[in-house]
């Protein structure tokens, strides 16, 4: 739980405070003092009566009541101090910096457990152990450097790694990004990343609270909660970017189905972030660049004007934007000519707008004004202004400063001369601005943001899905593993998913009778072996009773063969839908075209069940081979609405049948009229 005493303590004690600022207990006290903490500061140090000018007590028992305690003492001593403070001193918030707990030994884990019990008993907050602390505009309770500039509208950073938080700040400070708070949750014994987000969501005040959240997380312990509160915050107007590290490890796990092989646990993260509307980043530089973009007015479109006095960077930025699907539209016509007439001869207007190396600050102002007021096909302005060092850039950057205050369209300053114009850049940042020193990293981050989907509507599409029947079927299945075809058929039917008519029997006459009834040609498949085609257990396009009788006899000889399944032979484009249950995340649903598209090209989109129609369409549209679904030259397309419908219905089915661990429909056969599942496999585990 997150208490007022944690966020806004009236008094803070550093237990293990030191005059040696090379130790965490010294450094954190120094940061608190330098940060101008306005409450009462106290220290506990048995050897001193004063530490760094702060009154020191020999023992926690001697302290007056204190809101927040920061512990920088050996792990073994922590439980008792916590008990004393919570039990006797009304302390309702603890930050434990010390390591040596559950991350190292079993004994440590027990210590942690004891502390948790105590803080929970007293309704107190616990940050850590094994963390760098918590920093906000009221108190700088971290022992690390750098301390960024603080601002109630700055970013909130929540990190599951203390060192990474520190290095993210290094990257952020250079860009001028300011912060409202920095949370290092360490071992997250009580408060993890999800808890902080939940608190921010539940107490969100759109007038006062920061709207920028940056997250570094290594393991998502509670995906549902992360999803719920992240998307809720985004719907309330927040912007969230996150690094989920460890995306590569799990690709290699063994799996028994196509879906299993394709859906790594990273697909689950990918799907979760998409569903929540979180912008996914992969490096500290990217995360802080995205954070800086979040501080500027919201982008309303994809059309950028680049204003510069140097050609090259504008060209590289144009390339980066185009690669991300953003536009640098040509500027032409009378307004463009008018602008050109106000600049030096030789200036170019086409976009990038190059006011020339000799262009004046006034020229810059004019060019920005045209983009802001006159060019209606421009949504945002990128200004690239470095220097070869002849004159100072104060005047130019003052123009940028003024324009950033007044422009309604976002104006992105790219100031590459961070050394040569170091003073000017610093002066510009001091006014509260950010700087994107590398234009290409800015371009890439912009496309990441614009291409991130909005949070999905958290509703389950129940229409036409017979949930009680689904539960009855699942409950009646006698054993784990791949389930019998008739269960598969029944489950898909219950969700309203069209399935090809089929008949399974070990009796040749019955099989022949079914084929006569449904009409030739038919498909025959052996029932029993898992990889049917590898053992010659699939025959397509059987056109006569005689041929079917022959294949029946042959297939029943295949090892493990128990029966033969017959279906009418359908035609159409092969589609694929699969799903995999990912521990804690729920079902990751994949869709794509079938055959080589899924097996060789791995061209699949992923989503997290349950899925809305909007999400299903967005999954379909993001396939590389989407054009085939639309229909290409000479070939009719596929009924996209039916495809989306099956994705949505399946995702609903899965939500009520979490026993399904892996499944695929491969192929579904699709025409411009219908999409029908032809083969499906489902593995359950109860």
Restricting to residues 109-168, name those near a second copy by CB under 8 A. Answer: 132, 143-146, 159, 161-164, 166-167
Residues 52-91 that bind a second copy (CB under 8 A): none
221 binds a second copy (CB under 8 A): no
Beta carbon nearer to a second copy, 599 or 641: 599
Beta carbon nearer to a second copy, 105 or 203: 105
Q: Which of 114, 625, 636, 673 binds a second copy (CB under 8 A)?
A: 625
Using a 10 angstrom Cβ sphere, with 0-12 exposed, 13-18 middle and 19 or more buried, the burial of residue 174 is middle
| Contact predicate 71/95, CB 8 Å | yes
Beta carbon nearer to a second copy, 153 or 533: 533
Instruction: Report H helices in 74-161.
Output: 78-88, 106-122
Q: Which of 42, 175, 302, 309 binds a second copy (CB under 8 A)?
A: 309
Q: Which of 179, 216, 375, 436 binds a second copy (CB under 8 A)?
A: 216
Residues 6+ apart with CB under 8 A from 99: 75, 129, 130
Question: Smallest distance from the beta carbon of 317 to a second copy, in angstroms?
Answer: 9
Q: What is the DSSP letter of 395?
A: H
Query: Distance between CA 362 and CA 339 in Å, rounded?
Result: 12
Question: Do the strands 239-244 and 68-71 form a parallel or antiparallel pair, or are they unpaired?
Answer: unpaired
Question: Smallest distance from the beta carbon of 133 to a second copy, in angstroms?
Answer: 10
Question: Smallest distance from the beta carbon of 336 to a second copy, in angstroms?
Answer: 18
Query: Distance between CA 57 and CA 381 in Å, rounded?
Result: 57
Q: Which of 180, 295, 303, 318 binds a second copy (CB under 8 A)?
A: 318
- Window of 190-198, 315-323, 561-569, 575-583 that interacts with a second copy by CB under 8 A: 315-323
Query: Distance between CA 41 and CA 515 in Å, rounded?
Result: 86
Beta carbon nearer to a second copy, 317 or 473: 317
Per-residue binding string, a second copy, 470-509, x by CB under 8 A, is ----------------------------------------
Beta carbon nearer to a second copy, 311 or 498: 311
CA dihedral 106, 112, 118, 119 (to 10 degrees): -160
- Window of 100-108, 369-377, 546-554, 643-651 that interacts with a second copy by CB under 8 A: 100-108
Beta carbon nearer to a second copy, 150 or 440: 440
Beta carbon nearer to a second copy, 98 or 494: 98
Q: What is the DSSP letter of 448?
A: H
Q: Which of 186, 386, 410, 607 binds a second copy (CB under 8 A)?
A: 386
Number of H helices, E strands in the chain: 24, 29
Question: Smallest distance from the beta carbon of 282 to a second copy, in angstroms?
Answer: 6
323 binds a second copy (CB under 8 A): yes
Beta carbon nearer to a second copy, 317 or 491: 317
Kindly state the helix (H) or strand (E) to which residue 627 belongs, with its residue range: helix 626-630
Per-residue binding string, a second copy, 429-448, x by CB under 8 A, is --------xxxxx-------
Question: Smallest distance from the beta carbon of 189 to a second copy, in angstroms?
Answer: 17
Residues 6+ apart with CB under 8 A from 117: none
- Window of 83-91, 459-467, 592-600, 662-670 that interacts with a second copy by CB under 8 A: 592-600
Question: Smallest distance from the beta carbon of 196 to a second copy, in angstroms?
Answer: 17
557 binds a second copy (CB under 8 A): no
Query: Distance between CA 146 and CA 168 in Å, rounded?
Result: 10
173 binds a second copy (CB under 8 A): yes
Question: Smallest distance from the beta carbon of 476 to a second copy, in angstroms?
Answer: 34
Beta carbon nearer to a second copy, 315 or 467: 315
Q: In sequence order, what are the beta bridge partners of 542?
A: 522
Cis peptide before 667 (omega within 30 of 0): yes
Sign of CA dihedral 499, 500, 506, 509: positive
Beta carbon nearer to a second copy, 538 or 570: 538
Beta carbon nearer to a second copy, 285 or 496: 285
596 binds a second copy (CB under 8 A): yes
Q: In sequence order, what are the beta bridge partners of 56?
A: 43
- Window of 83-91, 230-238, 389-397, 481-489 that interacts with a second copy by CB under 8 A: 389-397
Query: Distance between CA 572 and CA 470 in Å, rounded?
Result: 29
394 binds a second copy (CB under 8 A): no
7 binds a second copy (CB under 8 A): no
| Contact predicate 542/520, CB 8 Å | yes
247 binds a second copy (CB under 8 A): yes
Beta carbon nearer to a second copy, 420 or 658: 420
| Contact predicate 355/363, CB 8 Å | yes
Q: Which of 33, 628, 671, 674 binds a second copy (CB under 8 A)?
A: 628
- Mapping DSSP to helix (H, G, I), strand (E, B) and coil, where does residue 502 land? coil
Cis peptide before 352 (omega within 30 of 0): yes
Query: Distance between CA 196 and CA 225 in Å, rounded?
Result: 11
Nearest CA to 329 out of 354, 355, 350 is that of 350
Phi, psi of 412 (to 5 degrees): -100, 115
- Neighbour tally for 528: CB within 10 Å: 17
Residues 10-39 that bind a second copy (CB under 8 A): 21-24, 27
- Neighbour tally for 430: CB within 10 Å: 10
- Window of 76-84, 188-196, 246-254, 650-658 that interacts with a second copy by CB under 8 A: 246-254
Question: Smallest distance from the beta carbon of 285 to a second copy, in angstroms?
Answer: 5
Q: Which of 122, 584, 624, 674 binds a second copy (CB under 8 A)?
A: 624
Nearest CA to 84 out of 13, 190, 2, 186 is that of 13
Kindly state the helix (H) or strand (E) to which residue 363 belongs, with its residue range: helix 361-369
Computed over its alpha carbons, how large is the radius of gyration of the chain?
A: 31
Question: Do the strands 380-384 and 304-308 form a parallel or antiparallel pair, or are they unpaired?
Answer: parallel
The number of angstroms, rounded, from the C-alpha of 410 to the middle of its chain's C-alpha atoms is 24
Q: Which of 301, 346, 481, 506 binds a second copy (CB under 8 A)?
A: 346
Residues 248-307 that bind a second copy (CB under 8 A): 248-249, 251, 282-286
Question: Do the strands 179-184 and 133-136 form a parallel or antiparallel pair, or are they unpaired?
Answer: antiparallel
360 binds a second copy (CB under 8 A): no
* Binding footprint of a second copy, residue count (CB under 8 A): 85
């Amino acid at each position: 739980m997150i208490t007022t005493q944690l966020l806004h303590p009236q008094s803070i004690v550093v237990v293990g405070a030191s005059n040696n600022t090379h130790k965490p207990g010294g450094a954190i006290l120094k940061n608190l003092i330098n940060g101008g903490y306005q409450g009462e500061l106290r220290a506990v140090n048995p050897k001193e009566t004063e530490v760094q000018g702060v009154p020191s007590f020999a023992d926690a028992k001697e302290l007056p009541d204190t809101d927040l305690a920061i512990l920088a003492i050996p792990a073994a001593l922590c439980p008792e101090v916590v008990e004393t403070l919570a039990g006797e001193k009304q302390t309702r918030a603890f930050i434990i910096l010390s390591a040596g707990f559950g991350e190292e030994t079993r004994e440590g884990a027990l210590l942690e457990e004891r502390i948790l019990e105590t803080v929970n008993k007293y309704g107190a907050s616990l940050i850590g152990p094994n963390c760098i602390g918590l920093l906000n505009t009221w108190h700088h309770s971290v022992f690390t450097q750098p301390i960024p500039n603080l601002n109630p509208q700055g970013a909130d950073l929540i990190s599951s790694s203390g060192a990474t938080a520190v290095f993210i700040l290094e990257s952020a400070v250079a860009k001028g990004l300011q912060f409202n708070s920095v949370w290092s949750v360490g071992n997250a014994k009580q408060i993890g990343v999800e808890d902080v987000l939940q608190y921010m969501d539940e107490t969100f005040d759109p007038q006062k609270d920061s709207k920028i959240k940056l997250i570094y997380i290594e393991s998502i312990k509670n995906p549902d909660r992360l999803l719920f509160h992240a998307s809720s915050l985004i719907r309330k107007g927040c912007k969230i970017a996150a690094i989920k590290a460890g995306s590569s490890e799990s690709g290699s796990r063994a799996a028994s189905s196509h879906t299993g092989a394709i859906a790594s646990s990273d697909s689950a993260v990918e799907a979760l972030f998409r569903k929540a509307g979180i912008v996914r980043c992969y490096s500290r530089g990217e995360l802080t660049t995205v954070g800086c973009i979040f501080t500027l007015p919201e982008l309303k479109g994809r059309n950028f004007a680049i204003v510069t006095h140097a050609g090259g960077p504008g060209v590289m930025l144009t390339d980066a934007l185009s690669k991300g699907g953003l536009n640098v539209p040509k500027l032409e016509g009378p307004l463009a000519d008018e602008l050109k007439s106000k600049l030096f001869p030789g200036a170019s207007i086409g976009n990038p707008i190059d006011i020339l190396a000799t262009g004046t600050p006034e020229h810059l102002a004019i060019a920005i004004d045209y983009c802001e007021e006159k060019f209606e096909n421009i949504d945002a302005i990128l200004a690239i202004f470095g220097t070869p060092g002849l004159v100072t850039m104060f005047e130019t950057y003052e123009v940028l400063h003024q324009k950033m205050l007044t422009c309604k369209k976002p104006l992105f300053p790219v100031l590459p001369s961070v050394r040569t114009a170091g003073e000017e850049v610093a002066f510009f940042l001091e006014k509260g601005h950010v700087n994107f020193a590398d234009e290409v990293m800015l371009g890439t981050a912009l496309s990441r943001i614009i291409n991130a989907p909005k949070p999905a509507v958290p509703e389950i599409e129940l229409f036409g899905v017979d949930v009680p029947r689904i539960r009855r079927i699942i409950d009646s299945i006698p054993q784990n593993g791949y389930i019998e075809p008739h269960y598969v058929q029944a489950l898909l039917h219950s969700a309203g998913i069209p399935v090809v008519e089929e008949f399974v029997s070990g009796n040749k006459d019955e099989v022949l009778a079914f084929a006569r009834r449904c009409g030739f040609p038919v498909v025959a498949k052996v029932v029993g072996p898992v990889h049917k085609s590898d053992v010659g257990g699939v025959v397509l396009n059987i056109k006569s009773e005689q041929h079917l009788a022959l294949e029946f006899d042959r297939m029943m000889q295949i090892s493990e063969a128990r029966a033969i399944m017959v279906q009418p032979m359908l035609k159409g484009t092969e589609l694929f839908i699969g799903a995999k249950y990912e521990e804690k995340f729920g079902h990751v649903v994949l869709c794509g075209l079938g055959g080589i598209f899924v097996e060789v090209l791995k061209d699949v989109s992923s989503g997290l069940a349950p899925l809305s129609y909007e999400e299903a369409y967005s999954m379909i549209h993001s396939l590389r081979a989407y054009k085939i679904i639309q229909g290409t030259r000479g070939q009719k397309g596929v009924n996209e609405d039916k495809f989306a419908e099956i994705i949505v219905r399946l995702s609903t089915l899965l939500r009520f049948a979490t026993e399904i661990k892996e499944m695929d429909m491969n192929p579904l056969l699709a025409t411009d009229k219908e999409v029908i599942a032809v083969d499906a496999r489902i593995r359950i585990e109860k």
